Structure 1
Amino acid sequence: MAVRTPHSEGIDRTYSSRECSFLTRLWQLRLLEGGSRLLGFRASCQGRRGATVITVLDYGSGNVESVFNAMRRVTDRAARAWDADSLQTSEAVVLPGVGALPAFMEALGRLGLVEPLQRVIADGMPCLGICVGMQALGEWGLEHEVTPGLGVATGTVASLSSLGVISKRLPHVGWNGVRLSADLPADSPLGVLIDRDVYFMHSFAFAAETPSAVGWTDYEVEFCSAVQKGNSLGIQFHPEKSQQTGLDFLDAWVRSVGKT
């Protein structure tokens, strides 16, 4: 990986994945300290030099490293970035996520990414939202507090218990299938999920009747486990935890990016 600093005068230095992750955290710390220039650098983890990249947005979530590593197994164009400028040179963006939607949106706001994300997605940039990243594509979330999402897809995220899950254990953790819409295009990356299970870990989801829903999962009741709006695709499951099926899905999604 290459990381460029202001002091390098345009010369790239190669860092290991561990070093890049450490630099990421330092850069985010600089932002959290209100723009202090104490650290004196701005890092940008890049994929293949000179190539357009698929940006895995690193906003401090615990599973960014796992998602990034899974992406790197299917493409050498995966990059990890955490600033709005990186979106301008991206071919596509991945929103990984674990935890709560309010914390996710707060982190995006702190990094100045909400409006830039909304803008590039509206302009047609392919976007993949994973778990909480999928939930962020909606209009509103009802986790802990009413939280506005990115407003890409019509729908509100609510607790599984409010959607009717009463007798099943929560959170919903483990392997489950995805029933796909009959209207899904034949070349949709979701097609690799037919007759295969993927790994879920969540307590909140879109309701089954969400207008942008293209996939549903049964867990006492059906909930929406995939949404599609334009070039934006949201999935409630974790491909990075779904073994070969997850890698096959990511590979199919990366290939679909090249067709947009």
Structure 2
Amino acid sequence: MIAIIDYGVGNLRSVEKAFSFIGCEASISSDPEFVMQADGVVLPGVGAYSDAMDNLKKAGMVDVVKNVIADNKPFLGICLGMQLLFDYSEEGGNVSGLGIFKGTIKQLPLDMDLKVPHMGWNSIKSSKDCPLFTNLPDSPYVYFVHSYYLDAENKDMVIAKTNYGIEFDVAIGKGNVFATQFHPEKSGEVGLNILKNFKNLLKSNI
């Protein structure tokens, strides 16, 4: 069973449906005990960084996320769910995140010729030796919706980058933790393959 953390932020149903489509049992839950007992955990998220952090705290999920990661359980952050893993975001005036990894969430430049938010399909340069990206085509296209981007301090954990006016980090992988700025659940066959790869990381291989 995969637990999709419900903290009032994110397109939870589309994530749940994507896992169901690949034959993987997943349930949306706001119950810390259920999340801790799951075989794998997904933290989705869309919207404002500060609101998401407030909601995580109110839902009692801050320690749950940290404990899941510390317990070496497969973990997948999606979009804002990736950004929250880092130290802080410039959105809303340097709002503190979970601080699990070192890095900053920065505003996409507003003075470039491209629209912000970055919304739509973009190709990524991904690491071939990362299990999350097994059997993906070269430079696959995935779906983005965001105005802020990750600048990870430790570039060794960055498993994918993209270019939208500037080049920036769009996926990380370290130990049992994986996270993407883009939305696998909205990224067609490529995204479904990524979710299948995450499923295959679970001990029970549900």
Q: Fold-level match, TM-score > 0.5? A: yes
Q: Deviations over 1:108-152 (max 9, x none)?
A: 101111012111211211110000001011121121122222222
Q: Determine helix, strand or coil for the equivalent of 2:69.
A: helix
Mapped to 2, the partners of 1:208 and 1:83 lie a distance apart of: 30
Mapped to 2, the partners of 1:74 and 1:104 lie a distance apart of: 28
1:207 pairs with one of 136, 143, 151:
151
Quote how far apart the aligned CAs of 1:98 are.
Answer: 0.8
Q: Which shifted more, 234-243 or 206-215? A: 206-215
2:165 is the alignment partner of 1:237 = no
Mapped to 2, the partners of 1:251 and 1:181 lie a distance apart of: 17
Q: Determine helix, strand or coil for the equivalent of 1:161.
A: coil
Query: What aligned pairs does 1:33-44 form with structure 2 within 5 A after superposition?
Result: none
2:105 pairs with one of 149, 157, 164:
157
2:133 is the alignment partner of 1:190 = yes
Match of 1:7 in 2: none
**Is the contact made by 2:132 and 2:178 (CA closer than 8 Å) also made in structure 1?**
no
Q: For structure 2, list consecutive stretches of 5 or more residues without a partner in the other structure.
A: none
Q: For structure 1, list consecutive stretches of 5 or more residues without a partner in the other structure.
A: 1-52
**Is the contact made by 2:172 and 2:180 (CA closer than 8 Å) also made in structure 1?**
yes
Mark the CA change 1:259 to 1:161 in structure 2 (over 3 Å): closer, same or farther.
farther
**Is the contact made by 1:210 and 1:224 (CA closer than 8 Å) also made in structure 2?**
no
Mapped to 2, the partners of 1:113 and 1:156 lie a distance apart of: 21
2:3 is the alignment partner of 1:55 = yes
Q: Which shifted more, 189-198 or 75-84? A: 189-198
2:79 pairs with one of 120, 131, 143:
131
Match of 2:116 in 1: 170
Mapped to 1, the partners of 2:154 and 2:119 lie a distance apart of: 22
**Is the contact made by 1:158 and 1:207 (CA closer than 8 Å) also made in structure 2?**
yes
- Normalising by the residue count of structure 1, what TM-score does the alignment of the two structures yield? 0.72
Match of 2:127 in 1: 181
**What amino acid is aligned across from residue 248 of structure 1 in structure 2?**
N
2:21 is the alignment partner of 1:73 = yes
Match of 1:41 in 2: none
Quote how far apart the aligned CAs of 1:235 are.
Answer: 0.2
Q: Which shifted more, 248-257 or 107-116? A: 248-257
Quote how far apart the aligned CAs of 1:99 are.
Answer: 0.9
Q: Determine helix, strand or coil for the equivalent of 1:205.
A: strand
2:33 pairs with one of 85, 107, 121:
85
Match of 1:221 in 2: 166
Identity of aligned pairs, percent?
36
- The list of structure 1 runs, each at least 4 consecutive aligned residues, that deviate by more than 6 angstroms after superposition, is none
Mark the CA change 1:105 to 1:75 in structure 2 (over 3 Å): closer, same or farther.
farther
Q: Determine helix, strand or coil for the equivalent of 2:39.
A: strand
Q: Which one scores higher on RCO, CA 8 angstroms, separation ≥ 6?
A: 2
**Is the contact made by 1:97 and 1:133 (CA closer than 8 Å) also made in structure 2?**
yes
**Is the contact made by 2:126 and 2:139 (CA closer than 8 Å) also made in structure 1?**
no
Mapped to 1, the partners of 2:14 and 2:56 lie a distance apart of: 19
**Is the contact made by 2:12 and 2:44 (CA closer than 8 Å) also made in structure 1?**
yes
**What amino acid is aligned across from residue 144 of structure 1 in structure 2?**
G
- Normalising by the residue count of structure 2, what TM-score does the alignment of the two structures yield? 0.90
